[in-house]
Amino acid sequence: MYNFNQTIERRGTGCVKWDEAPEGVIPMWVADMDFAVAPAIQEAIRQRAEHPIYAYTLVGESYYQAIISWFQRRHQWTIAREHILYTTGVVPGISCVLKALTMPGEKVVILSPDYNCFFSSIRNTGCVVSESILQQCHNTQGRFEVDWDDFEARCADEKTTVFLLCNPHNPTGRVWTREELQRMSNICHKHHVRIVSDEIHCELIMSGHTFCPMATIDPTAVILNSPSKSFNIAGLQMANIICTDAETRRRIDRAININEVCDVNPFAPVAGMAAYNESEQWIDELCAYIEDNYHTLCDFATKHLPCWQVMPMEGTYLAWVKIQDCGDVDAYTKKLEDEAKVWMNPGTMYGEESGKGYIRINLACPRATLLEALERIKNIQK
C-alpha cells in the first residue's frame, strides 16, 4: 500500500504550483500532483544520478519496448516500434504535429471547454480555433456530451483540416466511450479531417470507466501521450507521438527538429521506463485515492457548499464544478484566493464562453489538504 496521505513540503523547491502561490495559499490550480512519485521511479533516477555525467542522451530500444508493452497490457493497443517518435513534452509535440498537418489560416476543431494550451498551440501555428461547445446532458447526471450537429458542421467547413481531441478530457473529466470516439472518427473521415488525440491523462481513470485509445478505432489518428501526468514526472519533460503513416511521421519528425524539441534529458527515459515497467500497482492505488478525493469533494459540497454542483469525474484528477448564483467566476476564484486562501482555476481559462460559471479543482493532493481547502471555502461562504 502506498501512502498518498503523506504531506510533502514543496515550497522552496522551485515548484510552479506552490512557489507561485502567495504564502498561506493552498494551490489547487496547475495540473501536477502533491504525491511522491512511485518508489521504482525514485530508485531509477537515483541510480542514473550516481553516474556523474549528465550529457546528451540516446534513447535506447528498451524505452520503446516499455511503451509498447504498457499499452498492449493496459489498453490492448498494439504499437509498432517504428511508429513512435519522442519529444520534450505533449504541448511541444502538439505544436509540431499541427505544423506538420496544417497550413496557416486553416481551422482546428476542439471540444470546448478544453485544455488551455490547445488554444495557444493552434493560434501559434497560425491556425484558427473552431470551438464545438460541449453540452451538459441532464439524463447522464450532467456529464458533458458532444453536440454532434455542431461538431459535424465544423468538420464540414472546408477550412477545417484537423480535430484536436483531449482523450480523456481536461477539464470536464469525460472519458470518451468507444461509441463516442467511433462517431467522432466517422465524422472526421467523412469530411477528410485528421484526428490528433492528446491522451496524456489516459492512466487516470475512475472505476466504471474504460479508456479507449483513439488509435484502436482510427489507426490514422496521430496520438500524443506521456507517463508524465499520471506518474507525476512532468518536470522531466518527455512525451511520445505515435503515428502510423510514414509520410506524416516524416513531416512531424521534421517539425520536431525545426522546433528544436528533439533532445531529451538523461533522466526522462529512465523515469518513463520505471513508470511503465515497474509502477503498475502504484497507478492503480493512485486512481483509487483520487476517486476517494472526488467523493470527499462531492459529499462536502452537498453538505456545505450549496452553490457548487460537482460534475461527474470519469477520469483525470481535475474536478469541474458548476458555481451557481456566484456571479462572474473570475471574480469568484479571486475571492477564493484572497479570502479563503485557496487557488483554483476559473473555467474561463478553458473557454471564454464555454467555461463561464465553472471552476477547475486539482484533486491530486493528500485528503487533509483537500479538506482544509474546503473548510476554508465553507467559512467564507457563511
Return d(Cα 69, Cα 71) in angstroms, integer: 6
- CB nearer to ligand PLP: pick between 309 and 345: 345
Residue 328 in grid coordinates: 462572474
- CB nearer to ligand PLP: pick between 29 and 300: 29
Cβ distance 142 to 196 under 8 Å? no
Return d(Cα 224, Cα 188) in angstroms, integer: 18
Determine the 3-state secondary structure of 203 from DSSP: coil
- CB nearer to ligand PLP: pick between 228 and 333: 228
Phi and psi of 210, rounded to 5°? -130, 130
Smallest gap, in angstroms, from Cβ of residue 87 to ligand PLP?
Answer: 9
- CB nearer to ligand PLP: pick between 3 and 120: 120
Smallest gap, in angstroms, from Cβ of residue 339 to ligand PLP?
Answer: 27
Smallest gap, in angstroms, from Cβ of residue 261 to ligand PLP?
Answer: 10
The phi-psi region of residue 141 (left if phi > 0; otherwise alpha if psi is between -120 and 50; otherwise beta) is left
- CB nearer to ligand PLP: pick between 79 and 234: 234
| Alpha-helical regions (H) of the chain | 16-19, 39-50, 61-75, 90-101, 116-124, 148-156, 178-190, 246-258, 267-278, 280-304, 329-335, 367-381
Which residues make up the interface to ligand PLP (CB under 6 A)? 31, 89-91, 115, 166, 170, 198, 200, 226, 228, 234, 239
Cβ distance 41 to 274 under 8 Å? yes
Smallest gap, in angstroms, from Cβ of residue 311 to ligand PLP?
Answer: 16
- CB nearer to ligand PLP: pick between 37 and 340: 37
Smallest gap, in angstroms, from Cβ of residue 232 to ligand PLP?
Answer: 12
- CB nearer to ligand PLP: pick between 130 and 226: 226
The DSSP secondary structure of 88-130, one letter per residue, reads S-HHHHHHHHHHHH--TT-EEEEEES--HHHHHHHHHTT-EEE
Smallest gap, in angstroms, from Cβ of residue 163 to ligand PLP?
Answer: 15
Task: Select from 156, 21, 164 the least CA-distant residue to 90.
Answer: 164
- CB nearer to ligand PLP: pick between 301 and 355: 355
Count of alpha carbons within 13 Å of 56, Cβ hemisphere only? 2
- CB nearer to ligand PLP: pick between 170 and 279: 170
Q: Which residue has the cell 484536436?
A: 164
Q: Which residue has the cell 482555476?
A: 345
- CB nearer to ligand PLP: pick between 117 and 371: 117
Smallest gap, in angstroms, from Cβ of residue 262 to ligand PLP?
Answer: 15
Smallest gap, in angstroms, from Cβ of residue 88 to ligand PLP?
Answer: 8
Handedness of CA 324, 327, 330, 335 (dihedral sign): negative
Smallest gap, in angstroms, from Cβ of residue 198 to ligand PLP?
Answer: 5
Smallest gap, in angstroms, from Cβ of residue 68 to ligand PLP?
Answer: 20
Cβ distance 155 to 193 under 8 Å? yes
Residue number of the CB closest to ligand PLP reads 89
Return d(Cα 168, Cα 172) in angstroms, integer: 9
Q: Which letter, b or e, does each residue of 13-35 get, where b requires 16 or more Cβ atoms within 10 Å of its Cβ?
A: eebebbeebeeebbbbbebbbbb
Provide the 10 A C-beta neighbour count for residue 332.
Answer: 18
